[in-house]
Structure 1
Amino acid sequence: MAENRNEPLAAWMTEHQMSAAELADAVNGAIGEFTGKVGATADRTVFRWLSGENQWPQERQRRGLEMVTGLPILALGFVPRGKSTSDRAPEDPDVHRRRFVGASAGVAAAAVIPMGPVSARPVRVGTTDVIRLRAAVERLTAVDAERGGHGLERAALDGATEALTLQKLSTTQRVRQRLFALGADFTATAAWSLIDAGHLDGAARHLDRALTLAGLAQDSEMTMQIWNLRAMLARQRREYAEAVAAAQAAHATAIARRSPLHTSLAHARTAVGCAHGGDVRAALNSLGRAEDALSKADLTEPRSPWIAFYGPAELYSLTAIVRDVVGQPAEAEAASHRALAALPHSYRRNRGHTTVRLALAQLHQGDVEQACVTSGTVFTIMAGVPLPGRMRQLLGDFQRDLIAHAPSTRIAHEWTDRYRTEWSSP
């Protein structure tokens, strides 16, 4: 009956782009892990779960579902037959390890992906491997949001290696393409690690490789992610025409054509490139298009981890960059305040970066004292973790502009004396 439809399970399958047959295959593989014999769940069984006809799977299937999804069986919308919600199969210990939660900032990059050698795994490769590797990408994304992407290159490349090794053993074309996509995602994450660290030379090589893998995966969203990073890399290199071209390539992807959220990000990235390239009109026009597209996006829909950062807060942050670069620091300051008010608490690195932008906007209006106070809070925000290279470079820009705007003032010299070691240390 429609009123009994299992919406939580349906939502999880939609988010992970998983068909009934693939979920059945994954559950069977998980059952094989703890029993030694592959399960016999069929796709019609999954359809019965989705319709609500079967509201409490067999014990082995419940445990398999928990292992595959990383969620308690009750969170997947299932209801025990005539018993309390506490009467369910015990969770497998690995469920807690596999849940999609952020790793803490203190976790070493090498420990972010708990993967053993491929040779130690069963030859059978399927959806369970895709889910496990996707969870690893999400953990890397969580660490990036907390302390920055710098230092994650090795872990990301290890993930790419495993995904590409497994694709050679995969049993279906669909699983193979998903593993290629994960290889692209991990490789793009490695590139982002170098970009965020300010080590730009190796990033382009990783992005070239990631673009090839995205093509093999036939994954337009992964392709857009890579062009988005290309635009960021080109801007860091001050190659502004290439930054605009890369952003436009992102806009031309299939995902950007059908998703207002992705369209908005592509327009915003174009605006940043145009602003740095000196094309004020094009920058402001692109910014307007980004705002219009974002107003049409459903921000409650599930989205890929790589674009989870984008929304009103990030668009305000990019608006602040554009407005300041084109000579509108008051508007840039207002946009920075809006960004900081809207940023999720877990996005510490983004908060630090936006705070430096706020300080620059204040400095460019001549409010030297307030700008120094604002910029000083960055070190409190990022306390306990190394400053990402991009942030250190931006603080270097602040220090240079500070000296240019107030070369003889006491506060400028005090700022330099107090923070030089903190912002300049790798």
Structure 2
Amino acid sequence: MTGNPHLAARLESAGLTQADLADRLNRRIGALTGQPGKLTDRHVRNWLTGKTRWPQRRQRVVLEEEFGMTAEELGFVPPAGRERALPEDPVRRRSFTTATASLTAAALLPATPSNGSTRVGMSDADRLARNFADLVQDDHEGRTGIRLETRALAHAQHALDLQAVGQASTRVRHRLYYLAAAFTGTALWAAVEAQEPQRAQKHLNKAMTLAGMAGSSEMQMRLWGHASLLALQQRRMHDALAAAEAGRRAHVCRSDAFYRSLASARLAGILSAMGEKTAALRTLDHAEKTYDRADMGEQRPAWMSFYDRAELNGLAALVMGRIGRHDEAEARLHRTLALLRPDFHRNRAYYTIHLALAQLAQGEGDQAVNTALPLLSRGSATPLVGRSQSLLHQFDRHLRKLAPGTGFVIEWQDRLAEGEKEL
């Protein structure tokens, strides 16, 4: 599944949710046929993810009416040999691609001067870079999933479209390839977070190619970190280790202690998952010492903004938990949550579940339930999906095994059952 960034961009531009679009299309179907439509947000989600690449004829008709453009212009792909679109004016097609991919006015193509030529400059790349920083912030605040993934892909396509519209210096072209890699890397991260390995692998392959074209060791280091986690999720342990080691070998890690610290902390996590206790602790110690030597005043890209003392403690806690030092993991997680920035809602939920698991591993079921219960609240800042949801179910299984039938377990199960729809 490759996703449909064009439809996602139209939804974004119109300010519609998936359920909103389904309702509007159902009304159009009712007006067309006399019978209300039966589309749900699941149908829209399948269109956005690419699971459904060519909707049924009636659905295409109302989609085209809703947005005032053809199904192909909305990013749908007809089956080979069937219902092919009429040839399009390439200028019109390019303009549409630009408008849908940009998502915001700040990322529109540069105007064409009176002499007919188009110059793409660093200011165009800078506007895209600001959009990238906004997407990174959305991720921190927990606005992940399909919406983040498709927005990131649309921005990546726009960065590539800019390469085709006019003249640009080599420096600008490298910057645009870097941004295309950065946006695709964010789509990769969103797919990893959602535990969608097939989509994640496709994004990884494309992002690595773009990072290579940009000549960016820093972006390659970021992508190796995501590749390592993807392999870990699939229990491809040797691939996870090789990716983490490749990340630490990146040139940027030799020139900047801050990157080297992050790469080492990630490698320690993989080593601990493989049962390599001594190597994991040695690598973690190196990560912490290197962090202390890093220049915190140096300007770094937006995607590195998550890495601070709180995150280092969180990564260290994961290592401690995997090697069986659950008391040390708990202590580290308390430090993480105390230091974590208030707007980092996704990480707060993720590390809170790990804290509950660490307490549970020490036999403190009642305390673990008290830690985890706020995550089930309707007022929780971040809905639990993907990795966090899997961890919550893991917590539930371990809790029921530890203290079946106890009052706090019954309370937990009741609250979990109530919150399942929200999750």
Counterpart contact for 1:271–1:283, Cα < 8 Å: yes
Q: Which residue of 2 aligns with 1:146?
A: 141
Change (3 A) 1:131 1:120: closer
Determine the C-alpha separation between the residues in 2 that align with 1:269 and 1:362.
23
Q: Which residue of 2 aligns with 1:166?
A: 162
Q: Which residue of 2 aligns with 1:203?
A: 200
Q: Which residue of 2 aligns with 1:414?
A: 411
Q: Which residue of 2 aligns with 1:8?
A: none
Q: Which amino acid aligns with 1:152?
A: L
Determine the C-alpha separation between the residues in 1 that align with 2:199 and 2:191.
7
Q: Check if 1:137 corresponds to 2:132.
A: yes
Determine the C-alpha separation between the residues in 2 that align with 1:115 and 1:323.
46
Determine the C-alpha separation between the residues in 1 that align with 2:380 and 2:218.
34
State the Cα distance separating 1:278 from its structure 2 match.
1.3
State the Cα distance separating 1:170 from its structure 2 match.
4.0
Counterpart contact for 2:109–2:162, Cα < 8 Å: no
Q: Which residue of 2 aligns with 1:127?
A: 122
1:210-236, CA deviations, whole angstroms, 9 ceiling, x for partnerless residues?
000000000111111110111111122
Q: Check if 1:296 corresponds to 2:293.
A: yes
Q: Check if 1:214 corresponds to 2:211.
A: yes
Determine the C-alpha separation between the residues in 1 that align with 2:399 and 2:421.
16
1:364-393, CA deviations, whole angstroms, 9 ceiling, x for partnerless residues?
001100000101122359725432311101
Counterpart contact for 2:110–2:124, Cα < 8 Å: no
Q: Which residue of 2 aligns with 1:372?
A: 369
Determine the C-alpha separation between the residues in 2 that align with 1:259 and 1:224.
12
Counterpart contact for 1:275–1:326, Cα < 8 Å: yes
State the Cα distance separating 1:422 from its structure 2 match.
2.8
State the Cα distance separating 1:149 from its structure 2 match.
2.6
Q: Which residue of 2 aligns with 1:258?
A: 255
Instruction: Pick from 333, 337, 342 the counterpart of residue 336 of structure 1.
Output: 333
State the Cα distance separating 1:348 from its structure 2 match.
1.1
Change (3 A) 1:111 1:120: closer
Q: Which residue of 1 aligns with 2:66?
A: none
Q: Check if 1:188 corresponds to 2:190.
A: no
1:29-86, CA deviations, whole angstroms, 9 ceiling, x for partnerless residues?
xxxxxxxxxxxxxxxxxxxxxxxxxxxxxxxxxxxxxxxxxxxxxxxxxxxxxxxxxx
Determine the C-alpha separation between the residues in 2 that align with 1:328 and 1:374.
19
Determine the C-alpha separation between the residues in 2 that align with 1:115 and 1:245.
41
Q: Check if 1:349 corresponds to 2:339.
A: no
Q: Give the TM-score normalised by the residue count of structure 2.
A: 0.71
Change (3 A) 1:278 1:336: same
Equivalenced residue count is 317
Change (3 A) 1:423 1:351: farther
Q: Which amino acid aligns with 1:114?
A: T
Quick check: 413-422 or 246-255, which moved more?
A: 413-422
Counterpart contact for 1:148–1:388, Cα < 8 Å: no
Change (3 A) 1:394 1:382: farther
Change (3 A) 1:205 1:382: farther
Q: Which sections of structure 2, spanning at least 5 residues, go unmatched?
A: 1-99, 113-117
State the Cα distance separating 1:267 from its structure 2 match.
0.8
State the Cα distance separating 1:409 from its structure 2 match.
2.2
Q: Give the TM-score normalised by the residue count of structure 1.
A: 0.71
Change (3 A) 1:245 1:313: same
Counterpart contact for 2:102–2:108, Cα < 8 Å: no
Q: Which sections of structure 1, spanning at least 5 residues, go unmatched?
A: 1-109
Map 1:239-254 to 2 at 5 A: 239-254=236-251
SS at match of 1:308: helix
Determine the C-alpha separation between the residues in 2 that align with 1:235 and 1:117.
36
State the Cα distance separating 1:118 from its structure 2 match.
6.0
Change (3 A) 1:204 1:421: farther
Counterpart contact for 1:348–1:382, Cα < 8 Å: no
Instruction: Pick from 310, 321, 324 the counterpart of residue 318 of structure 2.
Output: 321
Q: Which residue of 1 aligns with 2:29?
A: none
Give the CA RMSD over aligned residues: 2.1
